[in-house]
Amino acid sequence: KLANIGVVGMAVMGKNLALNIESRGFTVGIYNRTAAKTDEVMKDHSEKKLIPSHTIEEFVDSLEKPRRILMMVKAGKPTDAVIDELLPLLDKGDVLIDGGNTNFHDTMARNARLDKSGINFIGMGVSGGELGALQGPSLMPGGQKEAYDLVAPILEQISAKAPQDGKSCVAYIGPNGAGHYVKMIHNGIEYGDEELIDESYNIMRNVAGFSVDEMAGIFKEWNKGELDSYLIEITADILTRKDDIGDDKSKPIVDMILDRGNNKGTGKWSSEDALDIQVPQSVITEAVYARYISMMKNERVEASKQLPAPKGNVELGEKKVLIEKIRQALFFSKLMSYAQGFEQLRIASDKNDWNLKFGELAQIWRAGCIIRARFLQNITDAFDKKPDLTNLLLDDYFKDIAAKYQESVRDVVALAVKAGVPVPGFSAAITYYDSYRAEVLPANLLQAQRDYFGAHTYERTDREGNFHYPWYEEQ
Ligand code: NDP
């Protein structure tokens, strides 16, 4: 019997996806460059419908046609190495899926290259980590639509199901690099969500002086309302956990973890792209910067001894009121971050002719992935009502929340700034709101400066055309 699909790469993601696919009744061919890893999988799962191969030729021969191959290998050169090995062995109409965290520019180039040989190439974003891969990830496949149709029955079965309506968290995203692009924005949004939660924690901790236990309770409470999401849920859980290996096991583990925020670069990619296509994506970008400045631990420790904190005392007010204000500031800022992310998706979609279905994207993020959250339904609803919505902030739901919560963000940002506690995400969010709703920005003066030193010309408020002012003449 031939395998219905093959998986290349038996590290944690490939192995778990292969097991997930097998568990839905499919026979799966498996292959890994280092054969010992394939053997290990077979040792642990000998009873399963897996067909192991030790050579790539054997692997390709083990698959039914048209072949469906999912690559789960390191992004970059390793992905090209696997493609180059597979290419001579494939037939026209076969479907190659790259499920790695690949940069969408690479996916676009590979899709175009392979299309010339008649090979369908799908770049698929996979979110949910290793557990998601095993139990149901959120999948973002992009490439030829006819290729997607060939793999859709498998992808629909293995993906997560939304709790609201049981729908599969997978959909055809669009041509060439669209899937990996959407995954990149997903990851950027994830950076933003994390940063905003971390700022809320920092304010509660270092401005208001709440205990870790208290904060665990607050996040747990927040998770019952409109902030209901995976990241709030795990934050509440993290704050309840005590140290497991230190000398004092009664200490919260969060206090024992070094404050250096790592990253794998996907947040940076979405910020880079925002700069490339000229979208103000400040919340996510501040989240990237926040990780970078956190990495400068030694410098910060040194600077903390030399640079004074503000002197004044801050007025915290009633505790319950403050907690609610921080909750509102967090939700408001999250909305701004998504408004920016979806604006970026819209502009990229137009630029690349991807025809992204924005409501559907929010839909497939409702389960399986790291940013899964109750409020994603509001994004889907917004785009259902108005598919050509330019910015989420113009949707009634978003508009109302922004109007209701804006005072809280202003208060919380002012409080944090006064106390000397950094809130880059919150301040980027309120600044975006104020910039977006500003009828007039000071770019008039900017244009005058540019025209003054560089004769770059300016446009006028009262007539069409480009003008240059005689700055160097006496008036
Ligand atoms: P790794 O990213 O650690 O990649 C290891 C796999 O890549 C192994 O199978 C390895 O084979 C193979 N590989 C590396 N170099 C080559 C090469 N030159 N030629 C052939 N094969 C090579 O594994 P993960 O399972 O963590 O991730 C797989 C992909 O999924 C990555 O692109 C990752 O970014 C992405 N991803 C990961 C998530 C996660 O939570 N880990 C979530 C979503 C996506 P060998 O054993 O022979 O070295």
Residue 310 and residue 360 in one domain:
yes
Last-in-domain residue among 156, 176, 196: 176
Lowest mean pLDDT among 179-183, 264-268, 356-360: 264-268
The pair of three-digit structure tokens given for residue 385, joined into one six-digit string: 């009502």
Return the H-helix or E-strand segment holding 7: strand 5-8
Instruction: Say whether the ipTM exceeds 0.90.
Output: yes
Q: How far apart are CA 100 and CA 140, in angstroms?
A: 11
* pLDDT tens sequence across 55-106: 999 999 999 999 999 999 999 999 999 999 999 999 999 999 999 999 999 9
The whole-angstrom distance between residue 204's C-alpha and the CA centroid of its chain comes to: 25
From 67, 116, 61, 107, select the one nearest 91 (Cα to Cα): 67
* pLDDT tens sequence across 114-155: 999 999 999 999 999 999 999 999 999 999 999 999 999 999
Annotated catalytic residue 190: yes
- What CATH code is carried by the domain that includes residue 77? 3.40.50.720
Residue 82 and residue 220 in one domain:
no
Band the pLDDT of 313: cuts 50, 70, 90.
Answer: confident
pLDDT on residue 173: 98
**CA separation, residue 243 to residues 128, 297, 475 (Å):** 26, 22, 72
Cα angle 328-384-99, degrees, rounded to a multiple of 5: 85
Examine the pLDDT at 232 and tell me if it is beyond 80.
yes
* pLDDT tens sequence across 154-194: 999 999 999 989 999 999 999 999 999 999 999 999 999 99
Active-site position among 22, 190, 194, 286: 190
With a 6 Å cutoff on the Cβ, whether 37 touches ligand 1 is: yes
Q: How far apart are CA 168 and CA 163, in angstroms?
A: 10
Would you tell me how many other CB atoms lie within 10 Å of the CB of residue 410? 18
Residue 432 and residue 445 in one domain:
no
Residue 33 alpha carbon, nearest atom of ligand 1 = 47
Q: Check if the beta carbon of residue 143 is closer than 8 Å to that of residue 179.
A: yes
Interval between CA 239 and ligand 1 midpoint (Å): 31
Active-site position among 183, 268, 325, 334: 183
- What CATH code is carried by the domain that includes residue 455? 1.20.5.320
Residue 146 and residue 238 in one domain:
no
pLDDT on residue 423: 98
Task: Output the residue whose Cα is nearest ligand 1's atom 15.
Answer: 78
Interval between CA 292 and ligand 1 midpoint (Å): 25
Residue 164 and residue 193 in one domain:
no
pLDDT on residue 164: 86
With a 6 Å cutoff on the Cβ, whether 81 touches ligand 1 is: yes
pLDDT on residue 24: 97
Which residue out of 16, 20, 73, 106 has the highest number of ligand 1 atoms within 8 Å of its CB and is therefore the one to mutate? 73
Tell me if the bond preceding 66 is cis, omega within 30° of 0.
Answer: yes
Residue 237 and residue 385 in one domain:
yes
Q: How far apart are CA 94 and CA 270, in angstroms?
A: 31
Tell me if the bond preceding 470 is cis, omega within 30° of 0.
Answer: no
Strands (E), 61-186: 68-71, 95-98, 120-127, 138-142
Interval between CA 443 and ligand 1 midpoint (Å): 47
Residue 129 alpha carbon, nearest atom of ligand 1 = 40
With a 6 Å cutoff on the Cβ, whether 364 touches ligand 1 is: no
Residue 160 and residue 303 in one domain:
no
With a 6 Å cutoff on the Cβ, whether 300 touches ligand 1 is: no
With a 6 Å cutoff on the Cβ, whether 368 touches ligand 1 is: no
Residue 113 and residue 196 in one domain:
no
Would you tell me how many other CB atoms lie within 10 Å of the CB of residue 315? 7
3-state DSSP assignment of residue 272: helix
- What CATH code is carried by the domain that includes residue 340? 1.10.1040.10
Examine the pLDDT at 312 and tell me if it is beyond 80.
no
Residue 361 and residue 446 in one domain:
no
* pLDDT tens sequence across 234-264: 999 999 999 999 999 999 999 999 999 999 9
The pair of three-digit structure tokens given for residue 247, joined into one six-digit string: 């000398």
Q: Check if the beta carbon of residue 291 is closer than 8 Å to that of residue 262.
A: yes
Band the pLDDT of 29: cuts 50, 70, 90.
Answer: very high
Residue 41 and residue 147 in one domain:
yes
Residue 420 and residue 452 in one domain:
no
The mean pLDDT of the chain is 97
Residue 164 and residue 206 in one domain:
no
Interval between CA 32 and ligand 1 midpoint (Å): 10
With a 6 Å cutoff on the Cβ, whether 161 touches ligand 1 is: no
Which residues neighbour 157 within 8 Å (Cβ) at sequence distance 6 or greater?
21, 24, 168
Examine the pLDDT at 229 and tell me if it is beyond 80.
yes
* pLDDT tens sequence across 185-199: 999 999 999 999 999
pLDDT on residue 428: 98
Q: In terms of residue numbers, what domain contains 463?
A: 441-475
Q: Which amino acid does the sequence have at 383?
A: F
**Which DSSP category does 392 fall into?**
G
* pLDDT tens sequence across 408-436: 999 999 999 999 999 999 999 999 999 99
From 83, 74, 72, 33, select the one nearest 54 (Cα to Cα): 33
- The residue-averaged pLDDT of 303-328 equals 95
The total of structural domains in the chain comes to: 3
pLDDT on residue 388: 93
pTM exceeds 0.95, yes or no = yes
With a 6 Å cutoff on the Cβ, whether 34 touches ligand 1 is: yes
Examine the pLDDT at 108 and tell me if it is beyond 80.
yes
Last-in-domain residue among 176, 206, 229: 176
Last-in-domain residue among 155, 176, 197: 176
